[in-house]
Amino acid sequence: MAPRLRRPEVNATINICSRTLAGELSPEIQVAHHPSFQLTHPKSQETIPAWAAELQLDILVGFGINPKYYAVRIHDLTPSNQPCPKEQELKTLKDVGLDHIASGPYEVHFLLKEGVKAPTVEALREWQQRWADVNEDPTPLPTKNMFILCNSGNHFASLAVDSLTTPPEGDAERNFRHGLGLTPALETIKHNLGRALKMNLAGRDVHFHLNGEDCDAQRDISELTSTTLMSTNIVKLHVQVLPSALPTGPGTLTLGSGGNNSQDGSTDEGRLMQRGWQIAAQAD
C-alpha cells in the first residue's frame, strides 16, 4: 500500500503583484484592503485539491476578495522592474517538501472564475461590508461543520452538531417519542444525519474521523456529540451495512466486510471548503 502523502506547512507572506498596481486598476485590486497577507496552514493529509482550495480561500478572504468570483495564482516575489514570472496554481506549493516550510514570499494574481460575470467595485465592497458585519456581530451563532462521505463525492451537508441530537421540527411523532425518552440518541443522530445527507442510514454502521486524521482513527458516530470540533473541522463519514441488515437465505449474495461503501460517496473535502461555504452562508 502506497504511503499517505502529506502537505507541507505553509507560513508565507503573500503580496499583491506589483504589476497589477500600475495603470488602470481592476475592481478586485481596487477593493483589496491589505498590502500583504500572511498565509498560514499546518502540515496536512488532505487531498491536494482540498488543500489548495483551503489555501485559496484563506488568501481571498485575507485580502477581502469575494471568493465567489475569483481564483488565485501565485509566483515568487519579483522586483517590479522585471517581467512578471509565470503564474502557478497553489497546489504547486506541495513540492516544497514535507520537511520544509513554504515561506515565500509570493505575489498573487486574482483571476475571474470561468463563466462568472465580472463584479463591480460596489458589489465587491458590499460583500466586504457584509463579511465585516458577520465578524463583528457579538451574537454567537451555532457552529456548523461540513459532513462528507470519505473518498467519494455524492453526499455532503453543513450541519451544527447540536442539531443532530433532537428530532426535526414538524416531525410530531419523533418529537413525541423523543420527549418521552423512547428514542435512542444514536437513532436520532443517524436519522437527522441521513436526512441532511439525503440517504437512509437505518441499519447501517456509521463511523467518523476528522480531516487531518487517518481513516484508522474512526470512532462511532455516537461519540460525535462529545468530540470538540473547531470551525475548520470536516467530519468524514464511513458507512457500512450492518450484518443484521443483510439479506440471508438461498439466492442471496454475501457482501465483503472490508473497506468503505464506495457507493455512498463523499466529496474531496467537500470541494468545498467548509470555510468557503461558511463564508457563503454567512456573508453572501
Residue 4 confidence (pLDDT): 55
**pLDDT of 5 over the 60 cut:** yes
Kindly give, in sequence order, each residue whose CB lies less than 8 Å from that of residue 19, ignoring residues fewer than 6 positions away: 80, 84
**pLDDT of 53 over the 80 cut:** yes
Residue 99 confidence (pLDDT): 76
Does residue 12 sit in helix, strand or coil? strand
Residue 155 confidence (pLDDT): 78
How many other β-carbons are positioned within 10 Å of the β-carbon of residue 264?
Answer: 20
d(CA 50, CA 212): 11
d(CA 53, CA 8): 15
End-to-end CA distance of the chain: 43
Q: Give residue 184's pLDDT band: very low, low, confident or very high (50, 70, 90).
A: confident
Residue 267 confidence (pLDDT): 37
Model confidence pLDDT, tens digit, residues 100-136: 889 889 999 999 999 999 999 999 999 998 888 877 7
If you average pLDDT over residues 154-159, what whole number do you get?
Answer: 82
Q: Give residue 38's pLDDT band: very low, low, confident or very high (50, 70, 90).
A: very high
Model confidence pLDDT, tens digit, residues 189-244: 999 999 888 888 888 899 999 998 888 999 999 998 889 888 888 899 999 876 65
- Asked if residue 236 lies in contact with residue 221, where contact means CB atoms within 8 angstroms, the answer is no
